[in-house]
Amino acid sequence: MAGKRKLERAAALGGPVLSVRDLKVGYGNRVLMRDVVFDVAPQDIFFIMGGSGCGKSSLLRVLMGLAEPQSGSVNYGSSAFWPGEEETRYKVMRRCGTLFQNGALWSSMTLAENVGLILEQYTDLDPEELRRQVVVKLSMVGLAGFEDFYPSEISGGMRKRAGLARALALDPEILFLDEPSAGLDPVSSRQLDELVVELSQSLQSTFIIVSHELASILSIATNGIFLDADSKRMAAKGRPQDMLTDPSTPPVVMRFLTRGGEGPMPGLPSGGKMANVHAGGGI
């Protein structure tokens, strides 16, 4: 529980839940990204942006403890993550949840069994309480009544939400989402965005999201960074909507945010939050 206490202490003091300093990410002699510096505040919906091959997913792996950086530091609250002790990384990651790009559900298990597997491994709940917790988590993502369905029996958007329910199983303070909208139609993608905002507000959770989905980035991001594959450096950081109106925004970032254009995409909200997110739309 030490990792949780340190994260909560950082939030209570108004400090970042995640601090990255002078990070260099790569494999062997290959450098993908260097000089990466940013903070993630409590309840941020933080996007890691950039074109294909810029190192977004590799950076996420470092933040999740799945890969070691070539140099630099990563701290969660006051806990030294990289460099740091393996036990510390384990404790910190116990307070985090992950939604993988394809949902990563076990096809031979029902949705309830997929979510319950995490609770069986990491808690001492009796079967009745475990089932109750599973029902609660699936209800939180709009899947009440689908507990005994198999992944093959539901839509792609529903599988993503089931994966999110599993990520929420241990009540994490931080959730990592890797390309959550990949493979979803525009309506399902918007519903997932709405769900992220709702969970961030209701659970006071922090989201760190890898994505190049512009509609999501410009609608719900409260903060973020842009990784440039050519310079192998962080080209911009801050709220993506602010980047669109900032004359100092590098051209490579502006081209990304406008899909190669020169101004804001039409039809997107300017407030950085999904419109009518609490209007009771389908989730």
Give 107's DSSP letter.
T
Looking up residue 171, the CATH number of its domain turns out to be 3.40.50.300
- Give the count of domains, the chain: 1
% the chain with pLDDT above 70: 87
Q: What is the pLDDT of residues 7-49, one digit of tens each?
A: 555 554 568 999 999 999 999 889 999 999 999 999 999 999 9
**Residue 265 within any structural domain of the chain:** no
CA distance 130 to 144: 15
The sign of the dihedral angle between the CA atoms of 233, 239, 243, 248 is negative
Residue 63, number of CB atoms within 10 A of its CB: 25
Taking a C-beta distance cutoff of 8 angstroms, is the pair 280, 258 a contact? Answer: no
CA distance 5 to 18: 14
**Residue 183 within any structural domain of the chain:** yes
Tell me the residue range of the domain where 230 lies.
Answer: 43-66+85-257
What confidence tier does 2 reach under pLDDT thresholds 50, 70, 90? very low
Taking a C-beta distance cutoff of 8 angstroms, is the pair 196, 219 a contact? Answer: no
CA distance 119 to 136: 13
**Residue 89 within any structural domain of the chain:** yes
Instruction: Name the burial class of residue 211, with classes exposed (0-12), middle (13-18) and buried (19+) by CB atoms within 10 angstroms of its CB.
Output: buried
Taking a C-beta distance cutoff of 8 angstroms, is the pair 241, 218 a contact? Answer: yes
Q: Which of 1-5, 128-132, 273-277 has the highest mean pLDDT?
A: 128-132
Give 263's DSSP letter.
S
**Residue 95 within any structural domain of the chain:** yes
% the chain with pLDDT above 90: 78
**Residue 217 within any structural domain of the chain:** yes
pTM of this structure: 0.86
Could you tell me if residue 247 is left (phi over 0), alpha (psi between -120 and 50 degrees) or otherwise beta?
A: alpha
What confidence tier does 263 reach under pLDDT thresholds 50, 70, 90? low
